[in-house]
Amino acid sequence: MPLVRPDSGLVAYLRAFSAQFRDRLIDARCPQVAASLAFTTLLALVPLLTVGLIVFASLPGFADIAETLQNFLLQNLLPATAGKIIATYAVQFSQKATNLTLIGTSIVVVTAVMLVLTIDRAFNQIWAVSHRRPLLARLSMYWVGLTVGPMALSAVLALIGHVASLSIGLISAPDHWARAAYARGTTLLVLAALFTLMYVGLPNRPVRFAHAALGGALAAALLSLLQRLFALYLTQFPTYTLIYGTFAALPTFLLWLYLSWLVVLVCAVVVAVLPEVSLRGHFRESFAGDQLLGAMQLLEALSDAQRVGATPSIEALAADTGLGLARTSRLLEDMLQAGWVVTSDTGNWLLAIRCSELQLRDLLEGLCLSPKGLVDSRHPLGMALARRLARLHGPFDDPVSELLTEASGRQRGDQIG
C-alpha cells in the first residue's frame, strides 16, 4: 500500500488530513454524541445556572458582572427568540432553585456534573484516550471550572466592556462601523478563547496550544455563522412554529443545541487530527488485514525501543508507525487484553512477552480469526471453520521475531540497492 506524504504537496496533505478526519469522525460517532449532549444540556441547563447563581450569590460584588455574563451568553450562544425564551424560563427556575435544601442542591449539582462528565467522555473518545483521569481528579477539575470559570469569564467580559467604553466612547453614532466591528471582534475572540481552553483542558492528553487555538477560532466562527443562518432559517421557514405553535421554542432550542454541539465536536476532531498528520508525515488507508499489519508494526517499534531500554508513549508509537492515535490506541488495547503488552507507571508502553515466544498464529487468532469465538457462535459454519483453522500449521507457527528480522533485512537490502 503506497504511503501518502503531506510534504509532497498541499493536495497530498489535504488527502491525508481528510482521510484521518473522516475516520475519526466516524469512530467518535460525533452526530450521535451531539444528539446525546443536546438532550443532556437541556436537562442540565437549570442545574448549571443554579450552580452559577449560588456562586455569584455568595459574592455580592459580582452581581453586576453576573448580569454581563448572562447578556453575553444570551446574545452570542443562543438563537433569537426560541433560545431566549428557554433561557428566560431557565433563569427563573434556577433563581427559585437557589432556595432548595441541602439535599435538593446536591441533586442539582450532581445533574450539572453529569453533563460535564458526558462532555469529558466525548472529548476523550475523539482523542482516542484509553486511560482517563481518576474520577476524583475529574470531579475536582470540573467543580473548579463550574465555580471559578463563570467568575473569570464575567470579569473578562466586564474588562472588555470597560476598555470598549474608553476606546470608542468618543464615537457618538450608535451604528458606527467601528463600534459594530469592535463588538463582533471581541465576541469572536472571547468565544475562540473559551473553545481553545476547552480543547486544551478536557482531553487527558497533551494538546498543542496552536492546534487548539486554530480549532477554537474555527468553532467560534462557525458558531457565529450558524447563529445567523439559523435565525434566517427560522424566519424564512417557520415550520416548527406552524406545527407546534406556542411550544415551538422547545424543539427549536433542542435543534440549536444539537447543531452547536456538532460544531464543537467537529472542530475538536480537527484539533485531534492535526498533530497526527503533521507529525507522522505519512498516512496509510485502512484495508483488510490492516489490523494485523498494524500490530506487527507496534511489536516492531516496542521491540526496538525495549532493546535500548526505552518505553515509548502512545504518541511516539503513533508517529513512528504512522497508524494515528485512534488506530494505535485500539490496537494497544487489544494487545493489552491479549497479554502481549503492558503499561508502565507513567502510562508508556512496553512488551510483556518476547517476540520469539509469540507466534503468527497468536496474532491471527487474537486480531483476525478467533477459533474460540467461532466455536462459541454455535453456528455450523463457524464451528466448521474453527476445525479447519485448527489444522493449519507451518508458517502460522513461526515466531513473530522471524518476521521482524526478515522485514528488517529486506529493508536494509532495499536501502543498499
CA nearest 78: which of 121, 111, 49? 49
Task: Dig out the grid coordinates for 401 from the structure.
Answer: 521475531
- Residue-level pLDDT at 413: 45
Rounded to 10°, the helix 325-338/10-27 angle is 50
Q: Are both 250 and 146 inside the same structural domain?
A: yes
Q: How many domains does the chain have?
A: 2
Q: Are both 151 and 212 inside the same structural domain?
A: yes
Task: Dig out the grid coordinates for 95 from the structure.
Answer: 433563581
CB 344 within 8 A of CB 309: no
* Structural domain span for residue 164: 6-280
- Residue-level pLDDT at 230: 77
Q: Are both 247 and 382 inside the same structural domain?
A: no
Ordered mean pLDDT values, 10 residues apiece, the chain (417 residues):
49 78 87 88 68 59 57 58 55 56 69 77 83 71 63 55 49 55 72 87 85 93 85 69 61 82 94 73 60 87 89 85 78 87 86 85 76 70 74 68 75 45
Place of cell 465555580: 147
CA 258 – CA 30 distance, rounded (Å)? 11
| Cα Rg of the chain, angstroms | 27
| Pairing state between β 349-351 and 341-343 | antiparallel
Q: Are both 360 and 211 inside the same structural domain?
A: no
Q: Are both 262 and 299 inside the same structural domain?
A: no
CB 154 within 8 A of CB 66: yes
Q: Is residue 365 part of a domain?
A: yes
Q: Are both 263 and 348 inside the same structural domain?
A: no
- CA-CA distances (angstroms) from residue 414 to 281, 283, 409? 21, 21, 9
Q: Are both 90 and 212 inside the same structural domain?
A: yes
Q: Are both 336 and 265 inside the same structural domain?
A: no
- Residue-level pLDDT at 3: 45
Domain boundary among the residues 222, 254, 280 is at 280
- Residue-level pLDDT at 283: 55
Domain boundary among the residues 280, 305, 330 is at 280
Q: Is residue 150 part of a domain?
A: yes
Q: Are both 13 and 145 inside the same structural domain?
A: yes
